[in-house]
């Protein structure tokens, strides 16, 4: 069963997936975290095998339990390798989470959630409509994941002119069951429209709205799998637990790493790398937890002033000092991000996206002994080609575009412009999904 961080009665996994957020506004967490030993995964070679072993107890009693193999196969349809960086001392690996359809780690969570929700709620006679407001990366991953799934629709709302060219392409190239809405306003306007639509009973009844928010447990669980797989591979090869440095915004990816360690996977330290939005860093330094307005940075997918998954981390990891003993966090400025992109290219021949650069920066700032004595895996959350407008001027050459991204960029764009009001949204939904 899955319990709210705020105490509402526990619900089944199926309900937690469909509800997204608990009725009391809290976030769902498993009542008990299964306990594994690395030996339990001895027979697991592929990431799919690791996923099945790890997820089976999380799916106990779910109507999806018999579908788990198919759900996993649909989610891990691309590689998630760890490459070794040529550092002088110690071990430093790069967990490459950017080989999915939209070249960022959100493809994993979105793919898994789509595979689950389609099986639970997909109904061609009365489709479920996923509403998603996006500032860039999430919308593309959700659209890609739900595209062409029977009985499901997606309406993506994004702030027109405030996402990168390539992001805009990823938000608008789908057609079929995906409606892309270019909102004449800000991300906050998009979010307000989604909230307004969900709260509108007549509109909700007509379209069967649901969300694919990053706080959905269905986006969190699959992210724990790549930490499990990477740590087990390293453990088997070296007998040592790797420590992870995770670029962090809303804390979903980092909490998945924490969950994997709690479940007994061989993971050492967990270090969160934030951009200038440093609330988590200050909190772990002893400040009050007081949500802030977000600051715009080069690592825009991490521009979060009030990270929602902190509620999960505090619920499992405790408050203040107690939590400080379990995770660390460092903030990285835009100047440091730029310098780091340049240095990664000079030292490793590696083009890093601005988010990934926060992790490599934090690694470089560790003291020499810690860099040598522990084994480090840095989490690469997106491909540099997705943020070429930032990366290319810094490294002075074009970033080769991966095949998946090239495929998306070759598609035709289709979208509808709307003003930021409920009437315009309702009309666009009625027209866009009329056939």
Contacts with ligand PLP, residue ranges (CB under 6 A)? 104, 106, 137, 214, 247-254, 301-302, 355, 381-382
**Residues paired with 329 in a beta bridge:** 272
14 vs 107, which CB is nearer to ligand PLP? 107
26 vs 252, which CB is nearer to ligand PLP? 252
Residue 107 burial by CB count (10 A; 0-12/13-18/19+): exposed, middle or buried?
buried
Residue 366 CB, shortest distance to ligand PLP, in Å, is: 20
Residue 272 CB, shortest distance to ligand PLP, in Å, is: 8
Report whether 137 contacts 108 (CB < 8 A): no
Report whether 200 contacts 175 (CB < 8 A): no
27 vs 251, which CB is nearer to ligand PLP? 251
Q: Containing H/E element for 170?
A: helix 165-172
Residue 39 CB, shortest distance to ligand PLP, in Å, is: 30
Residue 251 CB, shortest distance to ligand PLP, in Å, is: 5
162 vs 208, which CB is nearer to ligand PLP? 162
Q: Give per-residue burial for 365-403: e unless 16+ CB within 10 Å, then b.
A: ebeeeebeebbbbbbbbbbbbbbbebbbebbeeebebbe
Picking from 5, 253, 66, 225, the residue whose alpha carbon sits closest to that of residue 141 is 253
Report whether 229 contacts 80 (CB < 8 A): yes
Residue 305 CB, shortest distance to ligand PLP, in Å, is: 12
Residue 380 CB, shortest distance to ligand PLP, in Å, is: 9
299 vs 428, which CB is nearer to ligand PLP? 299
- Residue 32's SS3 state is coil
Cα three-residue angle 70-83-409, rounded to 5 degrees: 65
**Residues paired with 246 in a beta bridge:** 272
Residue 37 CB, shortest distance to ligand PLP, in Å, is: 27
142 vs 183, which CB is nearer to ligand PLP? 142
Residue 434 CB, shortest distance to ligand PLP, in Å, is: 33
Q: In what order do the strands lie in the sheet with 416-418?
A: 209-211, 128-133, 152-159, 178-183, 416-418
Cα gap 217→303, rounded to integer Å: 21
> Residue 63: CA atoms inside 13 Å, Cβ hemisphere, count?
12
179 vs 382, which CB is nearer to ligand PLP? 382
Other beta carbons less than 10 A from residue 328's beta carbon:
17
Cα gap 16→93, rounded to integer Å: 34
101 vs 127, which CB is nearer to ligand PLP? 101
Residue 401 CB, shortest distance to ligand PLP, in Å, is: 16
140 vs 266, which CB is nearer to ligand PLP? 140
């Amino acid at each position: 069963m899955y319990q709210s961080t705020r105490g509402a009665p526990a619900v089944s996994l199926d309900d937690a997936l469909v509800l997204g957020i608990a009725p009391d506004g809290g976030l769902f967490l498993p009542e008990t975290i299964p306990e594994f030993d690395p030996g339990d995964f001895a027979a697991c070679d592929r990431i799919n095998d690791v996923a099945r072993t790890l997820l089976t107890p999380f799916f106990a009693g779910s109507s999806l339990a018999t579908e788990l193999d198919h759900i996993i196969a649909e989610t891990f349809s691309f590689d998630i390798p760890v490459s070794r960086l040529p550092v002088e001392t110690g071990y430093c690996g790069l967990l490459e989470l950017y080989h999915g359809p939209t070249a960022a780690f959100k493809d994993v969570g979105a793919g898994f959630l789509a595979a689950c929700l389609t099986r639970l709620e997909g109904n061609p006679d009365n489709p479920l409509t996923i509403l998603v407001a996006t500032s860039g990366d999430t919308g593309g991953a959700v659209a890609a994941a739900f595209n062409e799934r029977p009985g499901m629709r997606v309406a993506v709302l994004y702030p027109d002119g405030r996402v990168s060219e390539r992001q805009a392409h990823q938000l608008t190239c789908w057609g079929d069951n995906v409606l892309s809405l270019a909102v004449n306003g800000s991300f906050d306007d998009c979010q307000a429209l989604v909230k307004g639509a969900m709260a509108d009973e007549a509109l909700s009844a007509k379209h069967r709205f649901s969300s694919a928010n990053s706080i959905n447990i269905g986006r969190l669980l699959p992210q724990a799998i790549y930490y499990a797989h990477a740590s087990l591979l390293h453990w088997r090869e070296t007998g040592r637990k790797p420590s992870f440095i995770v670029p962090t915004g809303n804390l979903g990816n980092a909490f998945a790493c924490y969950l994997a360690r709690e479940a007994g996977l061989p993971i050492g330290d967990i270090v969160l790398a934030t951009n200038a939005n440093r609330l988590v860093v200050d909190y772990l330094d002893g400040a009050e937890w007081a949500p802030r307005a977000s600051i715009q940075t080069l690592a825009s997918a991490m521009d979060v002033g009030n990270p929602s998954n902190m509620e999960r981390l505090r619920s499992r990891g405790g408050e203040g000092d107690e939590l400080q003993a379990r995770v660390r966090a460092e903030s990285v400025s835009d100047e440091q991000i730029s310098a780091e992109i340049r240095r990664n290219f000079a030292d490793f021949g590696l083009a890093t996206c601005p988010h990934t650069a926060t992790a490599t920066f934090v690694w470089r700032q560790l003291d020499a002994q810690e860099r040598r004595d522990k084994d480090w895996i840095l989490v690469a959350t997106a491909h540099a080609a997705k943020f070429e407008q930032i990366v290319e001027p810094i490294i002075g050459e074009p970033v080769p575009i991966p095949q998946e991204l090239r495929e998306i960029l070759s598609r035709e764009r289709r979208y509808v412009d709307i003003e930021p009001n409920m009437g315009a949204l309702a009309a666009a939904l009625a027209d866009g999904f009329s056939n």
